[in-house]
Structure 1
Amino acid sequence: MQRNRQHITVVGGGFAGLTAALTAAEAGTKVTLHEAHDTLGGRARTADGPYRTNEGPHALYNGGPHWTWLKQRGLLGPLAPLPPLEAARFRFHRDGALRRTPPLGFLRHTLRTAEQAPVDLDFLTWATRVAGPRAARDAAAYSGVALYHHDPGSLSARFVQERLHRAAALPPEAHYIRGGWGELIDRMAARAWDLGVRIETSSRLDALPLADGPVIVATSLAAAARLLGDPGLTWESGRTVLFDLALRRRTGDPFVISDLDAPGWIERFSAQDPSLASAGEQLIQAQLPIGPDRSKADGVAHAERLLDLGFPGWRDRTVWRREAVSNGRTGAVDRPGTTWRDRPAIDRGDGVYLVGDQVAAPGVLSEVSFTSAVEAVSLALRATRLDLKRA
């Protein structure tokens, strides 16, 4: 198929799609972006007030490649710093009780960087050899904050180790966009408009555009499989209950509860950004991974048990709540013997490129979307130069 190499089409207006559109436009290429919904953002959308929720807990890691890229372009925007007093309200759930400090063995293992974990062994087996069975279970459960998976110990040791080190880094790598990730999306969209990107919302494509330059597909993997007619575009992801809650404020509520008995994470996002909730209220977002044989009710019950321990009287203080199941929408997870290189390739041939958080690109969480988007544009432009030389 002969394509017009002076134009790139991006399908999907989430973080990956906007990254690809900006990267291509900065290189001087004409870009058209199609978004099926009436608003941009994908899983990076932030709900309108009064409770400005993301689709699950969202953080931006400053150790990732997109941090510098966003900062250089003035897109990072104001961050929401965590007050020191709130940072001290980090709680660990272990053996059925809340604790103020993590287990010593867990800390030793988390901060251990001398030994790189193997790819072909599961994390729990490897970590048990390194730190003992209890510390290994603690570390596996804690890593769930960056995995959204019900059994992190069963995944590739190398895969989990990288995310564990990033999630437990000191000083913390995780930072928060003031006003929610929707603010970042708005800045990226404005930048795209300024660069001449044609953005078409409510524009659902059922087939690839013909003879109109390279196409970058920045949708979910399931949607990409349908669009490309390729059922082989699959990779394992997590299954997680997302639980959002607005409570009347109470002094002494914890900032975070990290469950070390089973993967689960509850965070009071209004602790660092009060604008996310109404005056006198606080916004809590939680993610509780569930296995294939578990229901949404199981995840909600898990959250409620943790809330009972950490947020006294939370039921009477509740002014709003929302529950959902996120299935296959939390990024790739790599089983033993696999790495990011084994995921669906970015270059699909015939000028078609695939980007997102489940494709063959390195990084943690949204970093995979960013890295794959930049790589896809680089491959498309490289192909353009080769075609021009042949012409």
Structure 2
Amino acid sequence: MSKEITIVGGGLGGLVAAIACAEAGTRVTLHEAHATLGGRARASGAPYIAHEGAHVFYADGPHWTWLTSRGLTGPLGRPKGRDAIRMGFLYGGRMRRLPPAGFVRLMMLGRGREAPVDQDFFTWVSRTHGAETAQVAANAISVVTLDADTGRLSAAFVWELLRRVFAPSPPAVRWVIGGWQAVIGRLAARARELGVRMELKSRITELPGGPTIVATELSSARALLGDTSLSWESGNCAMLDLAVHPDPRDRFICWDLDSGGFHESYSMQDPTVAPPGETLFQLDMPVRQDEHRRDARARLEALADQAVPGWRERTTWQRSAFAKGRAGALDLPGHTWRDRPAIDRGDDVYLVGDMVAAPGMRGEISINSAVKAAAGAVRAASKATRSAL
């Protein structure tokens, strides 16, 4: 048996790290400050299962392979019948079935291009496709960046996201029945099967000694480790979860190409997340620099007016929130994911989360960083055990 590994944080990354460490035969104790596991993968309780953050996976990376190889994703859902084609693009104040031609040309003709790291996305696209297409493309991918000025980010960073989401090929998006909360449940069950000890309502205020994985938001890790360098660019958005009595005009999915907002159904592909006879939606809107929250909320409601006509009269449940600085890593020109806060912090301390030095987008970064951190922590634990013998 090797020395015990301590994990601080019971969200997606912390649970993946716990499983990876336990699979290597190491004793693991996980501490979660809240009464429940999940972090930003948590969802509201039934009958309206709405998520605090993302609720889909993309099946084109190592994170998905790691989950599926262990049977942790569970059954998948998909929209059926007319729901599947109820897509829309809000452009010029009007809902359209297709995006502007300039954006289509960019994605079709430019898919083989490589974008520069050291130039901003807006300038790079404007040079060949014009400023209007550059702004439309930036707003289209704000669903991932949750940033009102995505055009200011590294061209290489934004272009990679665009190609993954809008590539002219079958989309890699996957909807898990029960959402990410169901995956959290399976991760927790797997961790317990492997002997991971979980301490809920256990807030760690100083490092316990021995190999430690800190799987918290970057701001919390900064305070725990006393390391002011632990910071990175992130988004700022307004969010609205909305349950309504259904109407044939309701959109399954909608991109707001004017403002960067996004709308998607939770329940058209997964009826288990809403009561029978109701439809559950998630909407978000990036908050502009120096914009008052009420103005961002007004723009968000304007998107709802287009995507869910007459929603105010049909609403059965709703909740709203804002997420600032906790929406995943954004890379500015001249930076890549390798420049983010390193996973290995030295002294057998490892960092996990969606804003550290690992590839992917949002939750994918958490999973990929967790697997790497676990490998480092296991090596450190084994080395400590050998030294003690």
Q: Which amino acid aligns with 1:368?
A: I
Confirm or deny: 8 A CA contact 1:235 1:358 kept in the other structure.
yes
Q: Which amino acid aligns with 1:168?
A: F
| 1:157 maps onto 2:159 in alignment | no
1:224 matched residue in structure 2: 221
Q: Deviations over 1:140-195 (max 9, x none)?
A: 11011111111110000001011111111331111111112110000000000000
Confirm or deny: 8 A CA contact 2:31 2:198 kept in the other structure.
yes
| 1:49 maps onto 2:35 in alignment | no
SS of residue matched to 2:201 = coil
Match of 1:294 among 291, 307, 316: 291
How far residue 84 of structure 1 moved from its aligned partner, in angstroms, is 4.4
1:139 matched residue in structure 2: 137
| 1:358 maps onto 2:329 in alignment | no
1:189 matched residue in structure 2: 188
1:245 matched residue in structure 2: 242
2:206 matched residue in structure 1: 207
TM-score by length of 2: 0.96
Q: Deviations over 1:77-107 (max 9, x none)?
A: 0111122422211100001100001122212
Q: Which amino acid aligns with 1:182?
A: Q
Confirm or deny: 8 A CA contact 2:41 2:54 kept in the other structure.
no
1:125 matched residue in structure 2: 123
How far residue 108 of structure 1 moved from its aligned partner, in angstroms, is 2.2
Structure 1 residues 117-126 or 84-93, which shifts more? 84-93
| 1:176 maps onto 2:169 in alignment | no
SS of residue matched to 1:280 = coil
SS of residue matched to 2:135 = helix
How far residue 58 of structure 1 moved from its aligned partner, in angstroms, is 1.8
Q: Which amino acid aligns with 1:273?
A: D
Q: Which amino acid aligns with 1:353?
A: Y
2:252 matched residue in structure 1: 255
Distance in structure 2 (CA, Å) of the matches to 1:148 and 1:57: 11
Confirm or deny: 8 A CA contact 2:238 2:300 kept in the other structure.
no
Distance in structure 2 (CA, Å) of the matches to 1:380 and 1:317: 51
Distance in structure 1 (CA, Å) of the matches to 2:69 and 2:121: 36
Q: Which amino acid aligns with 2:326?
A: R
2:365 matched residue in structure 1: 368
Confirm or deny: 8 A CA contact 1:10 1:31 kept in the other structure.
yes
Confirm or deny: 8 A CA contact 1:245 1:321 kept in the other structure.
yes
Structure 1 residues 27-36 or 48-57, which shifts more? 48-57
Confirm or deny: 8 A CA contact 1:57 1:286 kept in the other structure.
no
Distance in structure 1 (CA, Å) of the matches to 2:68 and 2:261: 31
Identity of aligned residues (%): 51
Q: Deviations over 1:93-151 (max 9, x none)?
A: 00110000112221221243221100000000101123222221111110111111111
Give the 3 Å change call, closer, same or farther, for CA 390–130 of structure 1 in structure 2.
Answer: farther
Distance in structure 2 (CA, Å) of the matches to 1:371 and 1:356: 9
How far residue 267 of structure 1 moved from its aligned partner, in angstroms, is 1.1
TM-score by length of 1: 0.95
Distance in structure 1 (CA, Å) of the matches to 2:208 and 2:373: 17
Distance in structure 2 (CA, Å) of the matches to 1:311 and 1:14: 32
Matched ranges for 1:60-79 at <5 A: 60-79=57-76
Structure 1 residues 70-79 or 247-256, which shifts more? 247-256
Confirm or deny: 8 A CA contact 2:249 2:309 kept in the other structure.
no
Distance in structure 2 (CA, Å) of the matches to 1:381 and 1:113: 40
Confirm or deny: 8 A CA contact 2:3 2:384 kept in the other structure.
no
Distance in structure 1 (CA, Å) of the matches to 2:381 and 2:215: 20
How far residue 266 of structure 1 moved from its aligned partner, in angstroms, is 1.0
Distance in structure 2 (CA, Å) of the matches to 1:385 and 1:35: 25
| 1:59 maps onto 2:56 in alignment | yes
Confirm or deny: 8 A CA contact 1:218 1:356 kept in the other structure.
yes
Distance in structure 2 (CA, Å) of the matches to 1:195 and 1:236: 36
| 1:94 maps onto 2:91 in alignment | yes
Cα RMSD (Å): 1.6
Q: Deviations over 1:17-68 (max 9, x none)?
A: 0010000000111100000001000000121112100003421000121111
Match of 1:115 among 98, 113, 124: 113
